Amino acid sequence: MVKDIIDVILALPSQHVIFGTISTVLCIAAVWVYSNSSDEIKMVFLQTTSYLVIFNEIAFQVNMIYYGMWSYKTSLPLEMCYISALLVPLYPKYKNYQPLKNWFFFAGFGGSLFAFINTNLSETEQIYVSIHYFFAHGLVIFVMLSLVADGYRPSWNDYFNAIKMTTFLVIIIVCINLALDSNYMFTFDKPAGVNFTLLMPGWPYYFIIMLCIGLSFYTFMMILFSLPVLKKRS
């Protein structure tokens, strides 16, 4: 199984690897600068991130419409990571709102991290689709890491609330998919591209496995940041 997972990662499209590497380096550099900045500069970082998210999504929608690729079944920002990205503009104003911080820490980071190590994009995808993909996921990861840099640490209550919010979102997306005959958050069909669902059985088992992986990741993050060496609540 480990070999199969490694094979999936090694089979990722070259542009995914290139953009993923660039995004990772930029994200780490941005967090390092952020963590060593004054509160005023930190706010500039967060506000700039908000503007970039808005511009990225508008540009993506315009691009899809211009090239005749837009569809309400595939182009709406209803994947978990893109929903997280659309919450980024709220963060500078509501950065002390606990549910928002919990969401970025667990769901936002988890979804975006997995998007970096596997993908639903192909080698032939239009290049801007890949740019939008990594821009959105990278900015969400930056917000999560900025939370940690500012001293945020989750409690077990935060952990359970994140699970509740995620469950509620999944139910809402399932209802939307039934209404639109779509497949947002891959609730009814495996994502295209090179990703870990290639190693999983068909519906509904792959989706149940994905949910279990998500829950396991939430639990791992909770336990990790409960360790004395990392535990420091803001």
Q: Is the pLDDT of residue 3 over 70?
A: yes
pLDDT at 232: 63
C-alpha–C-alpha distance, residues 177 and 160, integer Å: 26
Mean per-residue pLDDT for 194-223? Answer: 94
Q: Is the pLDDT of residue 233 over 60?
A: no
Share of the chain above pLDDT 70, in %: 96
User: For 65-103, how does the pLDDT look when each residue is reduced to its tens digit (9 = 90+)?
Assistant: 999 999 999 999 999 999 999 999 999 999 999 999 999
C-alpha–C-alpha distance, residues 182 and 173, integer Å: 10
What are the helix (H) ranges across the chain?
2-10, 14-35, 39-66, 80-87, 98-103, 109-117, 127-149, 156-180, 205-224
User: For 142-193, how does the pLDDT look when each residue is reduced to its tens digit (9 = 90+)?
Assistant: 999 999 999 999 999 999 999 999 999 999 999 999 999 999 999 999 998 8
Determine contact, residues 221/154, Cβ cutoff 8 Å: yes
**Higher model confidence: residue 3 or residue 161?**
161
pLDDT at 195: 86
Instruction: Tell me the torsion sign for CA atoms 12, 56, 27, 158.
Output: negative
pLDDT at 6: 79
Of 28, 97, 89, give the one whose Cα is nearest residue 55.
Answer: 89
**Higher model confidence: residue 218 or residue 129?**
218
Could you give the angle at which helices 156-180 and 205-224 cross, rounded to 10 degrees?
160
Q: Is the pLDDT of residue 19 over 90?
A: no
Model pTM?
0.93
- The mean pLDDT of the chain is 92
Segments making up each domain of the chain, as ranges: 2-224
Share of the chain above pLDDT 90, in %: 77
Q: Is the pLDDT of residue 31 over 90?
A: yes
